Amino acid sequence: MSNEQLFFGLSEALRKFPKETDRVLCHFCFKPKKVTNEVLASDNGRRSQIMISSIILLKTALDALPLLSKVLKEAKSCLLGNVYKTICENETYASIRERIGEVMDEDVLHTRVPFVARTQQCFAVKAGADGLLDMARRSFCDTSEAIHSLANKYRQDFKLPNLKIPFNNRQGFYFSIPQKDIQGKLPSKFIQVVKHGNNVHCSSRELASLNVRNKSAAKECWLRTALCLEALMDAIREDVLVLTVLSEVLCLLDMMVNSFAHTISTKPVDRYTRARFTCDGPLAIDSGRHPILESIHNDFIPNSVFLSEASNMAIVMGPNM
Protein backbone atom coordinates (compact mmCIF):
# COMPACT_ATOMS: atom_id res chain seq x y z
CA MET A 1 0.00 0.00 0.00
CA SER A 2 2.20 2.80 -1.34
CA ASN A 3 -0.47 5.53 -1.20
CA GLU A 4 0.13 7.18 2.18
CA GLN A 5 -3.09 9.18 2.06
CA LEU A 6 -5.07 5.99 1.50
CA PHE A 7 -3.14 4.17 4.23
CA PHE A 8 -3.75 6.81 6.89
CA GLY A 9 -7.32 7.34 5.71
CA LEU A 10 -8.12 3.66 6.11
CA SER A 11 -6.40 3.58 9.50
CA GLU A 12 -8.57 6.45 10.70
CA ALA A 13 -11.74 4.94 9.25
CA LEU A 14 -11.12 1.54 10.84
CA ARG A 15 -10.65 3.14 14.25
CA LYS A 16 -14.26 4.34 14.06
CA PHE A 17 -15.50 0.75 14.01
CA PRO A 18 -15.84 -0.92 17.43
CA LYS A 19 -13.33 -3.71 17.92
CA GLU A 20 -16.09 -6.20 18.74
CA THR A 21 -17.97 -5.63 15.47
CA ASP A 22 -17.22 -9.01 13.89
CA ARG A 23 -17.98 -10.93 17.09
CA VAL A 24 -21.21 -9.12 17.90
CA LEU A 25 -22.60 -9.49 14.38
CA CYS A 26 -22.85 -13.20 15.16
CA HIS A 27 -25.61 -12.39 17.66
CA PHE A 28 -27.88 -11.49 14.77
CA CYS A 29 -27.39 -14.88 13.12
CA PHE A 30 -29.39 -16.79 15.72
CA LYS A 31 -32.96 -16.21 16.78
CA PRO A 32 -33.59 -17.03 20.45
CA LYS A 33 -36.96 -17.50 22.07
CA LYS A 34 -39.37 -14.70 21.34
CA VAL A 35 -39.16 -11.94 23.90
CA THR A 36 -42.36 -11.95 25.93
CA ASN A 37 -43.29 -10.95 29.44
CA GLU A 38 -43.20 -14.63 30.45
CA VAL A 39 -39.69 -15.08 29.11
CA LEU A 40 -38.50 -11.86 30.70
CA ALA A 41 -39.90 -12.91 34.06
CA SER A 42 -37.15 -15.52 34.35
CA ASP A 43 -34.48 -13.33 32.73
CA ASN A 44 -31.79 -11.87 34.97
CA GLY A 45 -31.27 -8.99 32.54
CA ARG A 46 -28.05 -10.28 31.03
CA ARG A 47 -29.67 -11.56 27.83
CA SER A 48 -31.50 -8.29 27.32
CA GLN A 49 -28.34 -6.32 28.05
CA ILE A 50 -26.42 -8.24 25.38
CA MET A 51 -29.20 -7.63 22.84
CA ILE A 52 -29.20 -3.89 23.49
CA SER A 53 -25.42 -3.70 23.42
CA SER A 54 -25.32 -5.55 20.10
CA ILE A 55 -27.72 -3.12 18.43
CA ILE A 56 -25.86 -0.11 19.83
CA LEU A 57 -22.61 -1.53 18.49
CA LEU A 58 -24.17 -2.19 15.08
CA LYS A 59 -25.48 1.38 14.99
CA THR A 60 -21.99 2.69 15.77
CA ALA A 61 -20.48 0.52 13.03
CA LEU A 62 -23.01 1.67 10.44
CA ASP A 63 -22.36 5.29 11.40
CA ALA A 64 -18.70 4.72 10.51
CA LEU A 65 -19.46 3.49 6.98
CA PRO A 66 -19.67 6.95 5.31
CA LEU A 67 -16.08 7.74 6.30
CA LEU A 68 -14.89 4.38 5.00
CA SER A 69 -16.79 5.01 1.77
CA LYS A 70 -15.14 8.41 1.37
CA VAL A 71 -11.67 6.91 1.79
CA LEU A 72 -12.23 3.97 -0.56
CA LYS A 73 -13.92 5.95 -3.32
CA GLU A 74 -10.65 7.06 -4.92
CA ALA A 75 -8.78 3.78 -4.36
CA LYS A 76 -7.09 2.44 -7.51
CA SER A 77 -6.62 -1.09 -6.21
CA CYS A 78 -8.90 -3.69 -7.76
CA LEU A 79 -9.41 -5.34 -4.36
CA LEU A 80 -10.32 -2.09 -2.61
CA GLY A 81 -12.52 -1.16 -5.54
CA ASN A 82 -14.47 -4.38 -5.07
CA VAL A 83 -14.78 -3.62 -1.36
CA TYR A 84 -16.21 -0.20 -2.22
CA LYS A 85 -18.76 -1.68 -4.61
CA THR A 86 -19.73 -4.46 -2.20
CA ILE A 87 -20.10 -2.38 0.95
CA CYS A 88 -20.25 1.32 0.20
CA GLU A 89 -22.62 1.12 -2.77
CA ASN A 90 -24.95 -1.34 -1.06
CA GLU A 91 -28.07 0.54 0.03
CA THR A 92 -29.05 -2.23 2.44
CA TYR A 93 -26.74 -0.80 5.10
CA ALA A 94 -28.43 2.58 4.89
CA SER A 95 -31.79 0.84 5.16
CA ILE A 96 -30.71 -1.02 8.30
CA ARG A 97 -29.39 2.22 9.79
CA GLU A 98 -32.68 3.95 9.03
CA ARG A 99 -34.67 1.21 10.77
CA ILE A 100 -32.41 1.46 13.80
CA GLY A 101 -32.87 5.24 13.84
CA GLU A 102 -36.64 4.84 14.00
CA VAL A 103 -36.37 3.08 17.36
CA MET A 104 -33.01 3.97 18.88
CA ASP A 105 -31.99 7.34 20.24
CA GLU A 106 -29.53 9.07 17.91
CA ASP A 107 -27.20 10.05 20.77
CA VAL A 108 -26.60 6.46 21.87
CA LEU A 109 -23.06 5.28 21.16
CA HIS A 110 -20.96 2.22 21.91
CA THR A 111 -18.59 2.74 24.84
CA ARG A 112 -16.35 0.64 27.05
CA VAL A 113 -16.72 2.75 30.22
CA PRO A 114 -18.87 0.50 32.49
CA PHE A 115 -21.37 2.97 33.97
CA VAL A 116 -21.60 5.02 30.77
CA ALA A 117 -22.34 1.78 28.89
CA ARG A 118 -25.04 0.88 31.43
CA THR A 119 -26.61 4.32 31.06
CA GLN A 120 -26.49 4.11 27.26
CA GLN A 121 -28.23 0.75 27.38
CA CYS A 122 -30.96 2.09 29.68
CA PHE A 123 -31.63 5.05 27.37
CA ALA A 124 -31.11 3.25 24.05
CA VAL A 125 -34.75 3.43 22.95
CA LYS A 126 -36.39 6.76 22.21
CA ALA A 127 -38.42 8.30 25.02
CA GLY A 128 -42.14 7.60 25.01
CA ALA A 129 -41.89 4.15 23.44
CA ASP A 130 -42.95 2.41 26.66
CA GLY A 131 -44.47 3.98 29.77
CA LEU A 132 -43.02 1.38 32.13
CA LEU A 133 -39.60 1.91 30.57
CA ASP A 134 -39.83 5.64 31.24
CA MET A 135 -40.68 4.94 34.88
CA ALA A 136 -37.73 2.56 35.22
CA ARG A 137 -35.45 5.19 33.71
CA ARG A 138 -36.62 7.75 36.25
CA SER A 139 -35.86 5.32 39.07
CA PHE A 140 -32.43 4.63 37.57
CA CYS A 141 -31.63 8.35 37.38
CA ASP A 142 -32.91 9.01 40.90
CA THR A 143 -30.77 6.28 42.46
CA SER A 144 -27.72 7.35 40.44
CA GLU A 145 -28.12 10.93 41.65
CA ALA A 146 -28.67 9.71 45.22
CA ILE A 147 -25.39 7.77 45.09
CA HIS A 148 -23.42 10.83 44.02
CA SER A 149 -25.20 12.97 46.61
CA LEU A 150 -24.21 10.43 49.25
CA ALA A 151 -20.59 10.68 48.14
CA ASN A 152 -20.73 14.49 48.45
CA LYS A 153 -22.24 14.14 51.93
CA TYR A 154 -19.45 11.81 53.06
CA ARG A 155 -16.81 14.17 51.69
CA GLN A 156 -18.14 16.95 53.87
CA ASP A 157 -19.09 14.95 56.98
CA PHE A 158 -15.83 13.01 57.23
CA LYS A 159 -13.52 15.65 55.71
CA LEU A 160 -12.47 13.42 52.81
CA PRO A 161 -12.25 15.85 49.87
CA ASN A 162 -10.56 13.28 47.61
CA LEU A 163 -13.16 10.56 48.11
CA LYS A 164 -14.18 9.17 44.74
CA ILE A 165 -17.10 7.01 43.67
CA PRO A 166 -15.91 4.64 40.89
CA PHE A 167 -18.05 1.91 39.34
CA ASN A 168 -17.54 -1.55 37.95
CA ASN A 169 -20.03 -4.14 36.76
CA ARG A 170 -19.26 -6.62 39.53
CA GLN A 171 -19.41 -4.35 42.59
CA GLY A 172 -21.46 -1.47 41.33
CA PHE A 173 -20.49 1.82 42.98
CA TYR A 174 -17.90 1.89 45.75
CA PHE A 175 -15.79 4.45 47.57
CA SER A 176 -12.12 5.00 46.81
CA ILE A 177 -10.16 7.04 49.37
CA PRO A 178 -6.43 7.90 49.21
CA GLN A 179 -4.63 6.40 52.20
CA LYS A 180 -2.85 9.70 52.84
CA ASP A 181 -6.23 11.33 53.59
CA ILE A 182 -7.09 8.80 56.30
CA GLN A 183 -6.12 9.83 59.81
CA GLY A 184 -6.21 6.75 62.00
CA LYS A 185 -9.18 4.49 61.34
CA LEU A 186 -12.05 5.06 58.98
CA PRO A 187 -15.40 5.93 60.57
CA SER A 188 -17.58 2.94 61.40
CA LYS A 189 -20.00 3.85 58.60
CA PHE A 190 -17.53 2.45 56.09
CA ILE A 191 -17.66 -1.32 55.59
CA GLN A 192 -15.89 -3.88 53.40
CA VAL A 193 -12.65 -1.94 53.69
CA VAL A 194 -9.90 -3.21 51.37
CA LYS A 195 -6.50 -1.69 50.63
CA HIS A 196 -5.83 -1.28 46.92
CA GLY A 197 -2.46 0.26 46.11
CA ASN A 198 -2.35 3.79 47.49
CA ASN A 199 -6.12 3.83 47.98
CA VAL A 200 -8.66 2.22 50.25
CA HIS A 201 -11.79 0.77 48.66
CA CYS A 202 -14.89 0.48 50.79
CA SER A 203 -18.65 0.80 50.90
CA SER A 204 -21.40 1.64 53.37
CA ARG A 205 -24.83 0.25 54.15
CA GLU A 206 -26.46 3.26 52.52
CA LEU A 207 -24.40 2.82 49.37
CA ALA A 208 -25.09 -0.91 49.28
CA SER A 209 -28.83 -0.25 49.46
CA LEU A 210 -28.66 2.34 46.69
CA ASN A 211 -26.57 -0.04 44.57
CA VAL A 212 -29.26 -2.72 44.82
CA ARG A 213 -31.97 -0.25 43.82
CA ASN A 214 -29.88 1.14 40.97
CA LYS A 215 -29.13 -2.32 39.60
CA SER A 216 -32.79 -3.32 39.88
CA ALA A 217 -33.86 -0.21 37.98
CA ALA A 218 -31.24 -0.87 35.29
CA LYS A 219 -32.44 -4.46 34.94
CA GLU A 220 -36.02 -3.27 34.49
CA CYS A 221 -34.83 -0.82 31.83
CA TRP A 222 -33.05 -3.61 29.96
CA LEU A 223 -36.07 -5.91 30.06
CA ARG A 224 -38.50 -3.25 28.85
CA THR A 225 -36.02 -2.12 26.19
CA ALA A 226 -35.68 -5.70 24.94
CA LEU A 227 -39.43 -5.82 24.36
CA CYS A 228 -39.24 -2.62 22.33
CA LEU A 229 -36.34 -3.94 20.23
CA GLU A 230 -37.73 -7.38 19.38
CA ALA A 231 -39.26 -6.28 16.06
CA LEU A 232 -36.08 -4.42 15.15
CA MET A 233 -33.98 -7.53 15.83
CA ASP A 234 -36.21 -9.58 13.51
CA ALA A 235 -35.82 -6.97 10.77
CA ILE A 236 -32.03 -6.92 11.13
CA ARG A 237 -31.84 -10.72 10.94
CA GLU A 238 -33.42 -10.60 7.49
CA ASP A 239 -30.26 -8.86 6.25
CA VAL A 240 -27.78 -10.96 8.19
CA LEU A 241 -25.98 -11.90 4.95
CA VAL A 242 -24.86 -8.33 4.25
CA LEU A 243 -23.80 -7.97 7.88
CA THR A 244 -21.64 -11.06 7.48
CA VAL A 245 -20.05 -9.52 4.39
CA LEU A 246 -19.38 -6.33 6.36
CA SER A 247 -17.67 -8.36 9.07
CA GLU A 248 -15.46 -10.15 6.55
CA VAL A 249 -14.53 -6.90 4.81
CA LEU A 250 -13.57 -5.22 8.09
CA CYS A 251 -11.38 -8.20 8.98
CA LEU A 252 -9.72 -8.05 5.56
CA LEU A 253 -9.05 -4.31 5.77
CA ASP A 254 -7.79 -4.62 9.32
CA MET A 255 -5.36 -7.33 8.24
CA MET A 256 -4.17 -5.29 5.25
CA VAL A 257 -3.82 -1.95 7.02
CA ASN A 258 -3.14 -2.61 10.69
CA SER A 259 -1.14 -5.80 10.22
CA PHE A 260 0.65 -6.07 6.89
CA ALA A 261 0.83 -2.45 5.73
CA HIS A 262 1.75 -1.14 9.18
CA THR A 263 4.39 -3.83 9.68
CA ILE A 264 5.93 -3.18 6.29
CA SER A 265 5.93 0.59 6.78
CA THR A 266 7.90 0.30 10.02
CA LYS A 267 10.60 -1.99 8.60
CA PRO A 268 13.57 -1.18 6.32
CA VAL A 269 12.68 -0.69 2.67
CA ASP A 270 14.29 -3.96 1.58
CA ARG A 271 12.76 -6.00 4.41
CA TYR A 272 9.77 -7.11 2.35
CA THR A 273 9.16 -7.28 -1.37
CA ARG A 274 5.94 -7.46 -3.31
CA ALA A 275 5.23 -10.86 -4.80
CA ARG A 276 4.88 -11.21 -8.57
CA PHE A 277 2.29 -13.68 -9.81
CA THR A 278 2.34 -15.47 -13.16
CA CYS A 279 -0.03 -17.89 -14.81
CA ASP A 280 2.65 -20.57 -15.08
CA GLY A 281 6.11 -21.09 -13.73
CA PRO A 282 7.47 -22.19 -10.36
CA LEU A 283 6.73 -20.81 -6.90
CA ALA A 284 9.93 -19.26 -5.60
CA ILE A 285 10.21 -17.56 -2.20
CA ASP A 286 13.56 -16.36 -0.90
CA SER A 287 13.74 -16.03 2.91
CA GLY A 288 9.98 -15.84 3.28
CA ARG A 289 8.54 -14.54 6.53
CA HIS A 290 5.02 -14.06 7.86
CA PRO A 291 4.74 -10.49 9.24
CA ILE A 292 2.45 -11.45 12.12
CA LEU A 293 4.33 -14.58 13.17
CA GLU A 294 7.61 -12.72 12.92
CA SER A 295 6.35 -10.08 15.34
CA ILE A 296 5.28 -12.77 17.83
CA HIS A 297 8.28 -15.12 17.77
CA ASN A 298 11.77 -13.89 18.58
CA ASP A 299 13.33 -17.03 17.12
CA PHE A 300 11.57 -16.78 13.77
CA ILE A 301 13.59 -18.45 10.99
CA PRO A 302 12.97 -17.33 7.37
CA ASN A 303 11.93 -20.05 4.94
CA SER A 304 13.07 -20.33 1.35
CA VAL A 305 10.67 -22.30 -0.83
CA PHE A 306 10.90 -23.51 -4.41
CA LEU A 307 8.04 -25.53 -5.88
CA SER A 308 7.70 -26.71 -9.46
CA GLU A 309 6.46 -29.73 -11.37
CA ALA A 310 9.74 -31.47 -10.68
CA SER A 311 9.91 -30.41 -7.02
CA ASN A 312 6.39 -30.30 -5.65
CA MET A 313 6.80 -31.00 -1.93
CA ALA A 314 8.21 -28.97 0.98
CA ILE A 315 8.33 -29.85 4.67
CA VAL A 316 8.72 -26.94 7.11
CA MET A 317 9.07 -27.56 10.84
CA GLY A 318 9.43 -25.35 13.89
CA PRO A 319 7.65 -22.29 15.33
CA ASN A 320 7.09 -20.81 11.87
CA MET A 321 4.25 -23.25 11.31
Which pLDDT score is estimated for 115?
94
The confidence score (pLDDT) of residue 259 equals: 72
Identify the helix (H) or strand (E) that includes residue 148.
helix 131-157
Distance CA 28, CA 151 (A): 41
8 A C-beta contact, residue 130 and residue 137: no
Q: Which residues contact 229 (CB under 8 A, 6 or more apart)?
A: 51, 52, 55, 103, 124, 125
**What does the alpha-carbon distance between residue 222 and residue 242 come to, in Å, rounded to a whole number?**
27
Residue ranges and CATH numbers for the domains of the chain are 4-112+119-125+216-264 (1.10.1420), 132-215 (1.10.1420.10), 271-321 (no CATH)
HSE-up (13 A, CA, CB side) for residue 297: 14
pTM for the predicted model, two decimal places:
0.77
Provide block-wise average pLDDT over 10 residues at a time, the chain (321 residues): 78 89 75 57 70 91 93 87 90 94 91 92 92 95 96 94 94 94 88 92 96 95 90 88 89 82 67 76 81 72 81 68 48
The phi, psi pair for 146, rounded to 5°, reads -65, -35
